[in-house]
């Protein structure tokens, strides 16, 4: 079963499996949001939009719509 960044709960982590290069902002990819990188959900606003994530040593705020397009290979339930 595939998961996306949008499925994560605060503190959970996953490894980026794939993302839609046509639908993900180029700036996000340039800052290291790429397949093989680990992503952690730091915090989410009510209704999970926006979501605050940690990837490749950087923190980003992304829209839920974008988070739904980033597929993860695994999830770990570690508190952040």
Residue 55, domain CATH = 2.30.30.90
User: What's the pTM?
Assistant: 0.84
* Residue written as token pair 């839920």: 64
Q: How many CA atoms lie within 13 A of 16 on its CB side?
A: 25
Kindly state the percentage of the chain with pLDDT values over 90: 64
Give the number of domains in the chain.
1
Helix (H) or strand (E) holding 28: helix 26-30
For 33-63, the pLDDT digits (tens) are 999 999 999 999 988 899 999 998 999 999 9
Look at residues 70, 35, 40 and name the one whose alpha carbon lies nearest to residue 55: 40
Q: Record the tokens describing residue 61, joined without a space.
A: 């705020």
Q: Residue 79 — φ and ψ, nearest 5°? A: -75, 140
Provide the domain limits for residue 68: 3-75
């Amino acid at each position: 079963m595939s998961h996306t960044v949008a499925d994560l709960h605060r503190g959970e982590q996953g490894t980026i499996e794939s993302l839609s290069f046509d639908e993900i902002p180029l700036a996000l990819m340039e800052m290291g949001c790429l397949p093989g990188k680990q992503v952690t959900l730091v915090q989410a606003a009510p209704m999970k939009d926006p979501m605050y994530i940690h990837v490749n040593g950087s923190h980003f705020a992304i829209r839920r719509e974008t988070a739904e397009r980033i597929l993860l290979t695994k999830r770990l339930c570690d508190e952040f």
